[in-house]
Structure 1
Amino acid sequence: MKRSFRMWHLTGTIAAIAAGGYIVFAIMLYIMQSRFIYIPTAKIEADPGNIGLEFENVDFVASDSVTLNGWFIPAENERAVLLFCHGNAGNISHRLESIQLFNRLGLSVFIFDYRGYGRSGGKPTEEGTHLDATAAWQWLVREKQYAPDKIVIFGRSFGGAAAARLASETNPRALIVESAFTSIEDMASKLYPYMPVRLLGRFHYGTIDYIRRVKCPVLIIHSTDDELVPYSHGRRLYEAAGQPKEFLEISGGHNRAIIDIPGKYTQGLDSFLIRYINN
């Protein structure tokens, strides 16, 4: 009897510890969400001048008075201007290879840092990143006098959500989304399958919801080898998009296509541009 009691007591103790650990982890997950999502750096490591490109350093202001920073890099024989929404880590100075590739494709580039990143003020929030992307769009339209049908919105990874939301509320020439997730909740469910992430989540970034409302041509780019955002997310985004739309299947790690397969990546982009931009 005593042995049976000790076993039940031990089992109960282990269960209580496990339950306590689960609750503590859930609380930490709820509190620390923003640190998992936003990984900014302040130091600008280099600029387009370091790779031989002329550029304009731009300060502009979001509708809630936060001052933002970005670069405008003009292209010779410009086909269109690309509004670049980057990923959740680093800052604009870590995207020089992409800027160079787009420049060679005849795309002027306006890349900006979200609030809290690089030289931009403020702290990042979900609504804040949307205000930042909207302010970047308005700068191109008002300050540079670009017509909406000369603007291509591009978003990579986390930036895919910002780009898709902006495209759903404006009228760009095209939308390009690369290595993007369907939503933060879907990503969290993959990373923490035993946690009630949809109840704990304070962020949405619902790329798939936004892309359903986009009216312009859409190009979805995703790698079958993406170790961070599953390939299935890219396929689901493609299925949710309206026509006209295209899917560029690539290989290599997350955000590494321009390094691992530059030829296929560049050719895929150029083909899309020829069909929907040059015409």
Structure 2
Amino acid sequence: MGSATSSMAAKFAFFPPDPPSYKLYVDESSGKMKMSDVSHQTENVDVMKLSTKRGNEIVAMFVKNQSATLTLLYSHGNAADLGQMCHIFTELSHHLGVNLMGYDYSGYGQSSGKPSEQDTYADIEAAYKCLEEKYEVKEEDTILYGQSVGSGPTVEFATRLPGLRAVILHSPILSGLRVMYPVKKTFWFDIYKNIDKIPLVNCPVLVIHGTEDEVVDFSHGKQLWELCNEKYEPLWLKGGNHCNLELYPEYLRHLKKFISAIEKIPRLQNVTQLKTDQVDASSNSSDNKDKARSSIDHKEKPRSSTGQREKSRLSTDNRDKSRTSTDKRERSRRSIDRSGKPRNSTDQMEKARNSFDRLGDMVRSVGLCNVDCLKPTASEA
């Protein structure tokens, strides 16, 4: 098992730009933190450091749009950092009319630590916590955007947010291992098991993928879209590869269309609907038991209203015995229901979560390259 993990760690690796494309400094005139060698840092851009629950300090940037009602939390792809993404972030914020939070994973840019799957989960959580606490962004006004390897923390975090407004997956992966090999099942040592988690996402999902993607095959995006609960019209960019989708006019047009559609959805619709579904699912067995009780109650009411119990104790005793056996069956039914139906949906979610949570520290060093550096490895394999 240890050798398998080491082998996977050797094949899957994060590739932060080395050296980082920017440095941090404090502007004397404004007292604000800024990134050096980066243009497009206007006054509406905040740069900050955030602490994660795994002990790292990550760099994040928030682009404020005064007319925005929605906020994108953007998880970028591999071999990139905030210095390279800053221009794209400011342009997306402007053209889509949204606020945008971007962040560097642990070990990327000027973020401390070393990149790993579990650290990226802590990183996106820290960025979201900042949105909530510093910028007072609500869950139902948040859209998660995951590009390539960033689809991993995006999909995983989306399963934790029942009121999330929407998700955008840009050249997403089914899982780390499936980028390298066309496996048909999920192995314990795999990473970013999006194929198993995407059915747990209960908000509209837009998938964007290039048909000529040379790093993450087009089939990844298609299969993820097919597995979505709330499918939005996907964008399959003909001839698009892994790194140039933003250059297609259709890319921005489709994103605008999606944002416009999402803005028209009432803010609490997803939350209310999900809570209703959860209540319905958890009360199914209770409803069945109530129906059983109701039928028994109906039988008991005439019996108590006729006064026949005083006339025939023998008849009453027989009914009591019958009721006792009915109660035993009900208690048996309840125990089965408690151990069965109410837990089904929860168990499925827990099994899905446990399937990747139990990897733990065994695969902390396992990552995924989402650029051309994967190609030589694939050809060697």
Q: TM-score, length-normalised on structure 1?
A: 0.80
> In terms of Rg, which structure is larger?
2
The count of corresponding residues between Structure 1 and Structure 2 is 246
Aligned mates of 2:217, 2:231 — CA distance in 1: 24
Deviation string 1:123-154 (CA, Å, 9 cap, x unpaired) is: 11111111111111111112211111111100
C-alpha distance in structure 2 between counterparts of 1:172 and 1:221, whole Å: 19
Aligned-residue identity in percent: 26
Is 1:116 paired with 2:136? no
RMSD: 2.5
Structure 2 distance, partners of 1:198, 1:166, is 19
From the superposition, tell whether residues 227 and 52 of structure 1 become closer, same or farther in structure 2 (CA, over 3 Å).
Answer: same
Match of 2:40 in 1: 51
Aligned ranges for residues 99-138 of structure 1 at < 5 Å?
99-103=89-93, 104-138=95-129
Q: Which of the residues 169, 177, 181 maps onto 1:185?
A: 177
| Structure 2 residue 13 is matched with structure 1 residue 37 | yes
Alignment partner of 1:245 is 2:203? no
The DSSP-based 3-state class of the residue aligned with 1:169 is: coil
When residues 28 and 62 of structure 1 are mapped into structure 2, their CA distance, relative to the original with a 3 A threshold, is closer
Q: Are the counterparts in 2 of residues 179 and 254 from structure 1 also a CA contact under 8 Å? A: yes
Distance 1:71 1:53 in 2: 12
The within-5 A match list for 1:2-41 is: 29-33=7-11, 36-41=12-17
Q: Is the 8 A contact 2:5 2:189 kept in 1?
A: no
Kept in 2, the 8 Å contact 1:238–1:246? The answer is: no
Verify the 8 A CA contact 1:173 1:277 in the aligned structure 2: no
**Matched residue, 2:193:** 206
CA apart distance, 1:27 = 9.2
Structure 2 distance, partners of 1:168, 1:212, is 9
Post-superposition offset of 1:93: 1.5
The one of 243, 259, 262 aligned to 1:255? 243
Q: Give the unaligned 5+ runs of structure 1.
A: 1-25
- State the Cα deviation string for residues 71-117 of structure 1 (Å, max 9, x = none): 11111311311101011212121223421331121111110001000
* Distance in structure 1 (CA, Å) of the matches to 2:231 and 2:167: 11
Partners of 1:238 and 1:121 lie apart in 2 by 34
Task: Answer 1 or 2: which has greater strand percent.
Answer: 1
Q: Secondary structure at the match of 1:51?
A: coil
Query: In 2, are the aligned partners of 1:79 and 1:278 still within 8 Å (CA)?
Result: no
Report the Cα distance in structure 1 between the residues aligned to 2:242 and 2:160, rounded to whole angstroms: 28
Alignment of 1:218-229 (within 5 A): 218-229=205-216
Task: Select the residue among 144, 148, 167 that pairs with 1:157.
Answer: 148
From the superposition, tell whether residues 124 and 118 of structure 1 become closer, same or farther in structure 2 (CA, over 3 Å): same
Tell me which moved more, 137-146 or 90-99: 90-99
Please tell me whether the aligned partners of residues 39 and 87 of structure 2 are also in contact (alpha carbons under 8 angstroms): no
Partner of 1:88: 78
Other-structure match for 1:236? 223
Structure 2 vs 1, CA of residues 264 and 48 (structure 1 numbering), >3 Å: closer, same or farther? farther
Gaps of 5+ in 2: 23-34, 266-381
Secondary structure (helix, strand or coil) at the match of 1:39 reads: coil
Structure number with greater CO (CA < 8 Å, separation at least 6) is: 2
Note closer, same or farther for the CA distance 1:174–1:160 as it changes in structure 2 (3 Å cut).
same
| Structure 1 moving runs of 4+ over 2 Å | 26-31, 44-49, 51-54
Q: Amino acid of the residue matched to residue 203 of structure 2?
A: C
Q: Which amino acid aligns with 1:95?
A: M
Local SS of the residue matching 2:74: strand
Give, in angstroms, the shift of residue 246 of structure 1. 2.7
Q: Secondary structure at the match of 2:151?
A: helix
